[in-house]
Each structure stands twice: as C-alpha cells, then as structure tokens.
Amino acid sequence: MAINLLELEPHKISRDLRGYITYIYGEPKVGKTTLGSKMPNPLLLAFEKGYNAIANIYAQDVTTWSEMKQIVSQLKKPQLKEKFSTIIIDTVDIAAQLCEKYVCDQNDVDSISGVPYGQGWTMLKREFETTFRAITQMGYAVYFISHAKEGTFKRQDGSEYSTVRPSVTTTYRAIIENMADLYGYMHPVIADGVRQSRITFRSEDGTVSAGSRFKYFPMEIGSTYDELVNALNEAITKEAEEKGDQFITDKAEVYVAPTELDYDKLMDDFNEVVGSLMDGANEDEFNKRIAPRIVQITERYLGRGKKVSQCTREQVEMLSLIVADLRELKETIA
C-alpha cells in the first residue's frame, strides 16, 4: 500500500461495535456467553464447551492453534462476512494456552522460556495479537470471554488490597487489555429479590480490573447487549457534544488490513523500473549517474555489498521499499 499523508482525513468514532474488541470476564454461569450470543450474527469459537444451554448459535469447537489460524483464513471469505458479524472467543484463557503451545512447537522447545535469545514472549505476543487483530481488520466485532479470580497485592507502603481480575495469566492479560476497547467484569447482584448480572467498566478504588477507551462510558451497566450498545452510544454522543458531530459516524469502524506483499510481482516491478531507467539514458549516463544511485538505494535496505538478486522472500518489505525509491528516482530524472 502506497502511503500518501496528504490524503489523510480526521479519524471518526464509530457507533457500530464491528471493528471493536470487547473483553468480559466473570464468575461461571453469570451470562458471559449469553451476552455474546445476543450480539449481531455471532460465531462462537468454543475453546471450551460452554454453549450447551444456548440454542440456535453457530459454534465451532477449537482444539489447536492451527485450527484457529485456519478459521482466521476462512473468515476472509465474502460469504462468511455476510453470514457473521461477531466472533466470540470462549475462553481466551484456553486460546492463550494453545497459542503458547503452538509457538513452543514451532521452535521445538518445551516451554516459552526455552526459545533461543529470550525471544519466546515477543514471538508469543506477536502471534496472539496478529491473529485477533486480523479479525477486527476484516470488520468483525471480537468478543473475548474469560473467567474471574481474586488476588491479594501489596502497596508500596506494605498494606494489602484485593483485586478481581481475569483468570488468564498476567502476560496475556496485559496483551488483551491493551487490545480491548471495552473491558469489564460481569458479576451477579440481587435486586428486589431477583438475581441479575451487572458489568463493571470502571473501578474508582482499583478493586476491579476494568476499563474503556471511551471517556464517558459509565462505571456499570446491565448485562444485556442492548444495554452495552446504548451505553456505548451515549458515551459517544457525549464525546460528540464535546468534539463535534463531524468526528462521529454511524458506520462500522473500517480497519486497513495489513498489506500482503507479493515477492514475485515486486521482483518484476524492480526489473521493469530498472529497465526503464536504462532505456531512458545512454550507457555512459546510466553508468555514471544512475547505476550508483540504484546501488545506494539497494544497500540502504539490504546492507553494504548486497544485490536485489540476493533478496529473500523474508525480505519482501525491504524489496517493496527499494522499488518505491526507484520509482521516485525515475520521476526525479524524467
């Protein structure tokens, strides 16, 4: 994808949940999966069997990370984009374990710490984030589900405090919290003698791990999909009053998918550009003025003494930059 900063337009906040990541954790049987089932056109990716009591939901059992990668690949199909709008991950705890096993197997080690040069956690984070961000970049809403657990921690002054947080490990929690646009704790309450569920999105005293990217999102709401969407829209409306309606849209958030570079095409493009540079100058001019600049551009990205003919498929990004710079060179000497 060619970058042109002059064509940039101000970002708009979308009222549509598609393209957003929602992360809800809570007690067993409190209604986390039920909430997901009420989202638009949901597909449940069941890393654990939690949908037995939910009728009329499309559910795909996932037992390995390679299966997850197959699913992501299939979600690109237009027919599936028409059929599904929301992807539910139930639970993210088990998804994380499968991702870790995949990275370990990929590197032929027994534990993530066994990956050479301490690169295990970096590789794990990249694999996990890339997989799920790819789903949002296709225009789906992503809904993560996790269990809850309570932990006791010490402040710097030695005093202790308790916090409710997701049961997923600290490493994955940091990754998922950073990805999530809405992050809440679903818990049961008794109101007028009736057991209900509520979702906490803000905790003033820090006893509940939760948060939101939206400035005016309420501290707590009910556990239905309508209440979630209404709270989102009210928060966006308040932000619109503050910043102006021109920065708000009813359309789904549009993400640009990562550019898939074609190595073979880029090699053809390189040969074409170099060929046109040779055709546009006589031999002496090309050797003295143009060839050294081609070498300079190539070495800038591949290293001193390297040639494009030595560029590997893993260096496709470098190849794309070389081609872009050569095209710019062609324009300047035209």
- Do 108 and 188 belong to one domain? yes
- Do 239 and 294 belong to one domain? no
Contact 126, 13 (CB under 8 A): no
For residue 207, whether the previous peptide bond is cis, meaning omega lies within 30 degrees of 0, is no
For residue 164, what is the domain's CATH number?
A: 3.40.50
Does residue 16 belong to any structural domain of this protein?
Answer: yes
Does residue 1 belong to any structural domain of this protein?
Answer: no
Of 219, 252, 285, the one marking the end of a domain is 252
Of 252, 286, 311, the one marking the end of a domain is 252
Which pLDDT score is estimated for 218? 93
Does residue 5 belong to any structural domain of this protein?
Answer: no
Does residue 169 belong to any structural domain of this protein?
Answer: yes
- Do 210 and 137 belong to one domain? yes
Of 225, 252, 279, the one marking the end of a domain is 252
Give dist(CA 51, CA 59) in Å, integer: 8
Does residue 87 belong to any structural domain of this protein?
Answer: yes
Q: How many domains does the chain contain in total?
A: 2
- Do 290 and 200 belong to one domain? no
- Do 321 and 213 belong to one domain? no
Does residue 257 belong to any structural domain of this protein?
Answer: no
Long-range Cβ pairs for the range 71-75 (8 Å, 24+): 71/45, 72/131, 72/134, 72/135, 75/135, 75/138, 75/140
The partner residues of 188 in beta bridges, in order of sequence, read 197
Does residue 130 belong to any structural domain of this protein?
Answer: yes
Q: pTM of the predicted model, to two decimals?
A: 0.69
Which pLDDT score is estimated for 326? 93
Q: Residue 194's CB: how many other CB atoms inside 10 A?
A: 7
Digit-by-digit pLDDT tens for the chain (334 residues) are 556 666 655 444 445 566 688 999 998 889 999 999 999 899 999 998 767 667 778 999 999 998 999 899 899 999 999 999 999 999 899 999 999 999 898 888 888 988 888 888 888 888 998 899 889 888 898 999 999 988 776 667 777 767 889 988 888 888 888 889 999 999 998 888 888 899 999 988 878 999 998 889 999 999 999 899 889 888 888 887 776 655 444 444 444 455 678 899 999 999 999 999 999 888 888 999 999 999 999 998 888 899 999 988 888 888 988 998 999 898 888 6
Domain that holds residue 290: 263-333
Which pLDDT score is estimated for 44? 94
- Do 160 and 303 belong to one domain? no
- Do 155 and 284 belong to one domain? no
- Do 283 and 236 belong to one domain? no
- Do 181 and 287 belong to one domain? no
Which pLDDT score is estimated for 14? 45
Which pLDDT score is estimated for 13? 44
Does residue 258 belong to any structural domain of this protein?
Answer: no
Give dist(CA 110, CA 83) in Å, integer: 39
- Do 26 and 152 belong to one domain? yes
Give dist(CA 115, CA 149) in Å, integer: 30
- Do 175 and 49 belong to one domain? yes
Instruction: Please enumerate in sequence order all residues whose Cβ is within 8 A of that of 78, keeping only pairs 6 or more positions apart, or say none.
Output: none
- Do 215 and 302 belong to one domain? no
